């Protein structure tokens, strides 16, 4: 699999996006509200160790006017110098996604198969977008996005700040021309929307978010069987 195809696959799987290709200098915040939100995110990032949450992931396809929904739990942790991620997808089909040691693994128990993808030179970029809104830098967003504070909204009974991220990299804009983040009082993203130029979008809603709690090591290991086949790409 070509590096560009792997990167697209990872974005599709994780529903999280952070560009590491754009290296332009950071811009000063355009408003006091934006600066306040970025400072809040930075404060959380400074002490980030782990995050776990329940999720609902909606994929809307405009041409057929249909929405596919996945539900489950997602886990992040900082292990040494790397970020690890695990997703336990329970519906509609059981699936496990793991990003550990620079390798993406997607396990489908119903067919006893694990598809493996080496991140290669994209490892740092993937780690960066994995923690977008979950421990990633606030002011660091300004290196890769034009960031606008859209306003405040109420989601699930809590007040949140909505940010609009426009990728600076043309490569990323070809995939998503807007990324919206809804940031709570802790500096954590409780909702994310990735909008494609076609009008398709991916909406991720997170609940029960727990920060810096102990996560068992077993969460970051696939529970395969002796019948499981591993397919490398």
For a pLDDT cut of 90, what percent of the chain falls above it?
A: 60
Is the model more confident about 15 or about 21? 15
- Please tell me the total count of domains within the chain: 1
CA angle 192, 48, 98 (to 5 degrees): 65
Cα separations (Å) of 210 from 58, 106, 205? Answer: 22, 24, 14
Span of 10-19, 36-45, 132-141 with lowest mean pLDDT: 10-19
Tell me the average pLDDT across 135-164: 90
CATH number of 90's domain: 2.50.20.10
CB-count burial class (<10 Å; 0-12, 13-18, 19+) for 81: exposed
Residue 14 confidence (pLDDT) above 60? no
Q: Beta-carbon neighbour count of residue 69 at 10 Å?
A: 12
C-alpha–C-alpha distance, residues 185 and 88, integer Å: 27
| Ramachandran category for residue 212: left, alpha or beta (phi over 0 → left; psi -120 to 50 → alpha) | left
Give the distance, in angstroms, between the CA of residue 141 and the centroid of all CA atoms in the same chain. 14
Distance CA 95, CA 89 (A): 5
Report the C-alpha gap between 53 and 169 in whole angstroms: 30
Q: In Å, how far from its chain's centre is CA 166?
A: 16
Domain span at 65? 3-232
**Closest alpha carbon to 98 in 108, 84, 109, 112:** 84
Q: Could you tell me which of 174, 219, 225 has the C-alpha nearest to residue 21? A: 174
Residue 75 CB partners (closer than 8 Å, separation 6+): 50, 51, 52, 85, 86, 87, 88, 215, 219, 220
Tell me what pLDDT residue 45 has.
Answer: 87
pLDDT in tens, 61-80: 999 999 999 999 999 998 88
pLDDT(232) > 60:
yes
How far lies 119's CA from each of 16, 102, 180, 217, 231, in Å?
16, 5, 26, 22, 15
Helix (H, G, I), strand (E, B) or coil at 138: coil
pLDDT of amino acid 233: 84
Tokens of 180: 């919206």
The dihedral through the CA atoms of 176, 204, 15, 179 has a sign that is positive
């Amino acid at each position: 699999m070509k590096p560009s195809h792997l990167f697209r696959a990872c974005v599709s799987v994780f529903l999280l996006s952070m560009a590491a290709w754009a290296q332009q200098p950071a811009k000063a915040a355009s408003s006091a509200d934006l600066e306040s939100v970025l400072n809040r995110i930075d404060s959380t990032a400074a002490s980030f160790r782990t995050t776990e949450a329940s999720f609902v992931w909606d994929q809307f396809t405009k041409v057929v006017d249909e929405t596919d929904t996945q539900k489950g739990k997602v886990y992040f942790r900082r292990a040494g110098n790397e970020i690890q991620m695990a997703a336990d997808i329970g519906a509609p089909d059981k699936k496990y996604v793991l990003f550990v040691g620079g390798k993406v693994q997607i396990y489908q128990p119903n067919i006893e198969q694990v598809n493996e993808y080496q991140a290669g030179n994209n490892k740092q970029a993937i780690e960066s977008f994995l923690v977008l809104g979950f421990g990633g830098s606030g002011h660091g967003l300004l290196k890769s996005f034009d960031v606008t504070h859209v306003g405040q909204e109420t989601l699930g009974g809590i007040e949140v700040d909505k940010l609009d991220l426009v990728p600076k990299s043309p490569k990323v804009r070809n995939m998503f021309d807007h990324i919206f983040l809804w940031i709570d009082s802790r500096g954590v993203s409780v909702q994310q929307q990735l909008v494609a130029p076609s009008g398709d979008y991916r909406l991720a809603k997170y609940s029960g978010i727990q920060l810096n709690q102990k996560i068992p090591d077993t969460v970051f290991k696939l529970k395969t069987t002796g019948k499981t086949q591993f397919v490398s790409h």
